[in-house]
């Protein structure tokens, strides 16, 4: 019993991207989420339609990597996860590591499992919301029926 401590039961949206699913890394990603003490609130495998992905990545619209990113994300099933826990948004970003698997620290999902070549930055195994606002928006996109 942890007396006197308060916990923010925050939620985040995590995706195991098509490369992670294809390589059989879904279980390893889920293992790391649960080992850290976060709870799974929702898990669903699906091949996302382009319009959903364009909405999800709206902040990157117009950037050079946007089209290849959407194309890649639509290329096969992803596993969408809502995880909950104390500061889980920041915590999962730490578990995931830097965007570029080459630069991601050992011990992180991308650092340990991300391939530096030939897939480079786009195919980096996981997505995790980067702020409370993004988390709320992204959970609404992927799990519109999920209540508070
Ligand atoms: N991405 C890419 N090329 C880049 C930067 C990003 O293909 O130069 C992809 C990559 O899959 C990344 C996603 O776009 O995970 C979203 O980019 P962001 O900068 O938000 O990185 P993240 O928050 O996923 O680490």
Q: What is the CATH number of the domain that holds 22?
A: 3.30.70.141
Q: Is residue 4 part of a domain?
A: no
Q: Chunked in runs of 10, what are the mean pLDDT values of the chain (148 residues)?
A: 67 98 98 98 98 98 96 98 98 98 96 84 97 98 89
Residue 148 lies in a domain: no
* Ligand 1 atom with the shortest distance to the CA of 98: 25
Helices 88-96 and 26-35: crossing angle in degrees, nearest 10, is: 130
Confirm if 109 and 33 have CB atoms less than 8 A apart. no
Report which DSSP code applies to 44.
E
Q: Decide if 1 is inside a domain.
A: no
pLDDT of residue 4: 62
Does residue 132 contact residue 8 with C-beta atoms inside 8 Å?
no
What is the reported pLDDT for 62?
96
Domain count, the chain: 1
Cross-strand partners of 45: 79
Q: Are 110 and 125 in contact, with CB atoms under 8 Å apart?
A: yes
Q: Which tokens hold the place of 66?
A: 């946007």
Let me know if residue 122 belongs to a domain.
yes
Identify whether 15 is part of a domain.
yes
Position 62 in a domain: yes
Ligand 1 contacts CB of residue 121 (under 6 A): yes
Look up the domain containing 49 and give its range.
9-142
Please check whether residue 147 lies inside any domain of the structure: no
CB of residue 130 inside a 6 A radius of ligand 1: yes
Look at residue 141 in the predicted model and tell me its pLDDT: 98
């Amino acid at each position: 019993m942890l007396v006197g401590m308060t916990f923010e039961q925050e939620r985040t949206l995590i995706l195991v991207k098509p490369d992670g699913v294809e390589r059989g890394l879904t279980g390893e990603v889920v293992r790391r989420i649960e080992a850290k003490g976060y709870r799974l609130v929702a898990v669903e495998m699906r091949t996302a339609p382009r319009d959903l992905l364009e909405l999800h990545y709206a902040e990157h619209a117009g950037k050079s990597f946007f089209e290849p990113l959407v194309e890649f994300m639509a290329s096969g099933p992803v596993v969408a996860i809502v995880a909950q826990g104390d500061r889980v948004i920041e915590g999962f970003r730490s578990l995931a590591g830097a965007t570029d698997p080459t630069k991601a620290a050992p011990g992180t999902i991308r650092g340990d499992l991300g391939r530096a070549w030939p897939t480079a930055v786009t195919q980096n195994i996981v997505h995790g919301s980067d702020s409370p606002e993004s988390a709320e928006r992204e959970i609404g996109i992927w799990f519109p029926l999920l209540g508070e």
